[in-house]
């Protein structure tokens, strides 16, 4: 931050807000130091988010593969075979994801393609929208006529949904008969998996809202990444999972950034104690 003069420093402080910088200023002891620490935290967050994205995608796809095999149908998400039934929260999340998938698909259509949906959307009106129908109602009706594949619905579901499938609510219905195979080693229990996923989820949310991740939360997130990388899927003859090998460079970068942050915070605490 040395390149910023006092006037520019004040302008940056206003852009970031004094409320946001207050946490960093307490750590750094000065406004200039707070801004520098803020930027370093964001760079650390970027390294965290890179690993989080891969973990989330891998977890989602592994769960989908196992449940497709378990239920014996590709459309298990929207139409799971009896006697299994989603809890109300998951049903709502799935319906919401399907609506979002339809909206995304609708946005990509040409005007001609959108009008072609009227045959289904307004079948009771001989395929014609009622005169004077509001634009929003017209769009919703047309979107309801779109059939979206399950993959597009899956893509709309957040990490919250996938971690919920590994909660105690689904231990007997999903974990024991199917999802245990996502983490196939006998010593791995569902509560341990759930705790690590919760740590990743909480940090993910903080990063998404541009909040800092450091200290105990950072250590828990690093441990969770390491756990998932080492235990999701089967290990090869070299003792490593494919996910572990894939994430090795990103985890190394994350460890380096995390250690730099710990060293910086330790040095600031030492200065405060002097």
Question: Do residues 75 and 127 make contact, with C-beta atoms less than 8 angstroms apart?
Answer: no
Q: State the pLDDT confidence band at 1, using cuts at 50, 70 and 90.
A: low
Check residue 127 and give its pLDDT: 84
Question: Taking the model in full, what pTM does it have?
Answer: 0.91
Check residue 153 and give its pLDDT: 97
Q: State the pLDDT confidence band at 228, using cuts at 50, 70 and 90.
A: very high
Check residue 125 and give its pLDDT: 83
219: which residues sit within 8 A by CB, 6+ positions away? Answer: none
> Nearest-CA neighbor of 163 among 200, 209, 210, 217?
200
Question: Do residues 78 and 153 make contact, with C-beta atoms less than 8 angstroms apart?
Answer: yes
At which residue do the structure tokens 């207050």 appear?
Answer: 22
Over the stretch 25-83, which tens digit does the pLDDT of each residue have?
Answer: 999 989 999 999 999 999 999 999 999 999 999 999 999 999 999 999 999 999 999 99
Check residue 274 and give its pLDDT: 56
Over the stretch 6-23, which tens digit does the pLDDT of each residue have?
Answer: 899 899 999 999 899 998
Over the stretch 108-134, which tens digit does the pLDDT of each residue have?
Answer: 999 999 999 999 999 888 888 999 999
Query: In angstroms, what CA-CA distances link 194 with 50, 56, 178?
Result: 21, 13, 15
Check residue 188 and give its pLDDT: 95
> Nearest-CA neighbor of 80 among 168, 176, 165?
165
Over the stretch 148-206, which tens digit does the pLDDT of each residue have?
Answer: 999 999 999 999 999 999 999 999 999 999 999 999 998 999 999 999 999 999 999 99
Check residue 222 and give its pLDDT: 98
SS3 assignment, position 144:
helix
Query: In angstroms, what CA-CA distances link 261 with 107, 137, 162?
Result: 42, 51, 30
User: Which string of b and e fits 1-25 if b means at least 16 CB within 10 Å?
Assistant: beeeeeeeeeebbeebeeebbeebb
Query: Domain coordinates of the chain in residue numbers?
Result: 6-72+183-273
């Amino acid at each position: 931050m040395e390149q910023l003069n006092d006037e520019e420093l004040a302008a940056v402080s206003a852009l970031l807000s004094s409320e946001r910088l207050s946490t960093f200023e307490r750590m750094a002891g000065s406004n200039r130091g707070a801004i520098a620490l803020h930027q370093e935290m964001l760079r650390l967050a970027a390294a965290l988010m890179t690993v989080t994205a891969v973990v989330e995608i891998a977890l989602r796809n592994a769960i989908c593969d196992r449940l497709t095999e378990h239920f014996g149908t590709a459309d298990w998400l929207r139409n799971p075979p009896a006697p299994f039934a989603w809890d109300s929260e998951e049903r709502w999340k799935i319906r919401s994801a399907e609506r979002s998938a339809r909206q995304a698909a609708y946005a990509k259509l040409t005007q001609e393609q959108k009008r072609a949906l009227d045959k289904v959307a307004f079948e009771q009106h001989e395929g014609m929208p009622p005169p004077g129908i509001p634009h929003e109602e017209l769009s919703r009706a047309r979107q309801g006529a779109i059939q979206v594949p399950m993959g597009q619905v899956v893509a709309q579901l957040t990490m919250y949904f996938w971690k919920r499938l590994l909660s105690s609510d689904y231990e007997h219905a999903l974990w024991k008969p199917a999802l245990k195979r996502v983490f196939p080693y006998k010593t791995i229990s569902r509560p341990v998996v759930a705790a690590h996923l919760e740590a990743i989820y909480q940090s993910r949310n903080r990063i998404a809202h541009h909040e800092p991740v450091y200290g105990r939360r950072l250590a828990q997130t690093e441990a969770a990444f390491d756990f998932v990388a080492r235990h999701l899927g089967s290990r090869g003859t070299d003792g490593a999972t494919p996910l572990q090998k894939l994430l090795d460079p990103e985890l190394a970068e994350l460890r380096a950034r995390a250690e730099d942050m710990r060293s910086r915070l330790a040095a600031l605490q030492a200065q405060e104690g002097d």
